[in-house]
Chain A
Amino acid sequence: MNTPNQTMTRPARGSELGPILAVLFVALSAALVGTFAGLGHEKVIAHRFDFWFCAALAGIGWVARSVGANKGVVIASTVLGCFVMLTCYQEPLVRYLTLGALLFAMGVFGMSKSRNAVRVLMSIELMLNAVNINLIAFSKYVDPVQLKGQVFAIFILTVAAAEAAVGLAIVLSLYRNTSTVDMDKFNLLKW
């Protein structure tokens, strides 16, 4: 039986992937820098202090985390600081869209990082909610007469309900067959 504070050592699995992923990371950073360069060098580097502020916040959070601060507090304060800094000078529509993008990114992170299958489903619900925020913000600020965004939000609610029911039923039957909900152990469909 697993006790809550059990620690275990994972073998160095797939360590040959490290250099490849590092190269991929460098390529992604180059793409990001390229995006900024496309916007105009002076616009991003000189006048966008918010990006530098966010990078500094992330560095402070990293230092605090390596000193030994609480993980959740560090992540929440860093994300909140970046969010406020990125949105406080924007118009209202962009604020709502940024909130949706932030929740969507957090859902992507949780979906690919967490090992519990039910938590993966929770992250998917979070992503669907972020999409709903986007749609309703657009329906208020861009299309306030016909409200098409709200109609699409209703469809997304329906699909989310169906997805939750089917996903949790799959998790239940998997648990009944394998007595685990660990995503790393679900390898039935591996070739």
Chain B
Amino acid sequence: MLGTLLASPSVETTLFYLLSTLAICLAVGVLVDRVVIRSGFILIGVFGSIAGIFLLLSAQFIALAQVMIYAVAITLVIVIALMLTNPRSESEPLVKEEELPPPAAFFRSLKNNFPLWVSIMSFVTIYVALTGENHWPISTEAAPIDSVKVIGEQLTTTYAIPFEFASVLLLAALMGAIMLAKNDKSEVSAQTEASLLEAKKAEENLALSR
């Protein structure tokens, strides 16, 4: 039922433009929003709409894995890191440029917007390569009904060694993350004790002054 509905080209086109509009607008929000934690939450929407695009491409397993890993786990980690790192500088301060003569200002804006030129050039290059003379060899064979079964068989037979290496990579990355983020007690304790003492003293003074 759903598959036949999705197979009709007009429905697929409509859904594609809907989801890609969502994804692009939210991605612009992620990049432009001055409050970093808000862009962290907008990221959930980007990943969710990309999961919808995966569903359109009849990749159900990847879509659900995307929702679980990206939209929940990675965004959660990012938001928690934001909460742990940002003191008061959640908004990036506005940078006010000093006055310059026009040619120097032009070169300055060229230089400051250099990432923009690079990204536009890369997009145009990829697009020209995509829509060039040679067309992609589009296959018309019928897709397997149970795509999860196909993926699972490939992961355990053809791609068994990369699969095992991926698990080793995950283990090493988790151990490295724990080692990096671990609070070294011996170095920090002296500072924190001093600051705790100061805070306690200030509190006592406050209580006395009342």
- Is B196 interfacial (CB-CB < 8 Å)? no
Q: Which of B70, B111, B151 contacts A154 (CB 8 A)?
A: B151
- Is B77 a contact of A7 with CB atoms below 8 Å? no
- Is B53 a contact of A133 with CB atoms below 8 Å? yes
- Is B31 a contact of A106 with CB atoms below 8 Å? yes
Bound complex: CA A170 to CA B58 (Å): 37
- Nearest CB of chain A from residue B198's CB, rounded to whole Å: 17
Bound complex: CA A176 to CA B85 (Å): 8
Q: Which 7 A-B pairs have the closest CB atoms?
A: A18-B107, A162-B173, A105-B123, A169-B180, A112-B115, A109-B119, A169-B177
- Is A141 interfacial (CB-CB < 8 Å)? yes
A72-B33, A122-B43 known; A108-B96 Cβ under 8 A: no
Bound complex: CA A9 to CA B97 (Å): 6
Q: Which of B21, B36, B136 contacts A141 (CB 8 A)?
A: B136
Q: A112's closest neighbor in chain B, by CB?
A: B115
Q: Mark A88-116, 1 if CB is under 8 A from B, else 0.
A: 00111111111101111110111011111
Chain B positions near chain A (C-beta within 8 angstroms): 9, 12-13, 16-17, 20-21, 23-25, 27-34, 36, 39-40, 43, 46-47, 50, 53-54, 57-59, 61-62, 65-66, 69-70, 73-74, 77-78, 81-82, 84-98, 100, 104, 107-108, 110-111, 114-128, 130-133, 136-139, 141-144, 147, 150-151, 154-155, 159, 162, 166, 169-170, 172-174, 176-178, 180-181, 183
- Is B50 a contact of A147 with CB atoms below 8 Å? no
A93-B136, A155-B162, A181-B85 known; A113-B77 Cβ under 8 A: no
- Is A97 a contact of B130 with CB atoms below 8 Å? yes
Bound complex: CA A53 to CA B20 (Å): 20
- Is B131 a contact of A71 with CB atoms below 8 Å? no
- Nearest CB of chain A from residue B9's CB, rounded to whole Å: 8
A118-B85, A136-B57 known; A80-B173 Cβ under 8 A: no
- Nearest CB of chain A from residue B191's CB, rounded to whole Å: 11
Q: Which of B62, B120, B180 contacts A153 (CB 8 A)?
A: B62
- Is A144 a contact of B95 with CB atoms below 8 Å? no
Bound complex: CA A35 to CA B156 (Å): 44
Bound complex: CA A173 to CA B187 (Å): 13
- Is B139 a contact of A144 with CB atoms below 8 Å? yes
- Is B25 a contact of A76 with CB atoms below 8 Å? yes
Give chain B residues whose Cβ lies under 8 Å from the Cβ of A176.
183
Central interface residue in B20, B98, B159, by most chain A CB within 10 Å: B20
Q: B59's closest neighbor in chain A, by CB?
A: A136
Within 8 A of B (CB), among A156-191: 157-166, 168-173, 175-176, 179-182
- Is A129 a contact of B47 with CB atoms below 8 Å? yes
Central interface residue in B50, B122, B176, by most chain A CB within 10 Å: B50
Bound complex: CA A163 to CA B85 (Å): 18
Within 8 A of B (CB), among A137-161: 137, 139-148, 150-151, 153-155, 157-161
Give chain A residues whose Cβ lies under 8 Å from the Cβ of B93.
2, 6-8
Q: Which of A8, A75, A114, A125 contacts B70 (CB 8 A)?
A: A125
Q: A40's closest neighbor in chain B, by CB?
A: B133
Q: Which of B24, B88, B119 contacts A108 (CB 8 A)?
A: B119
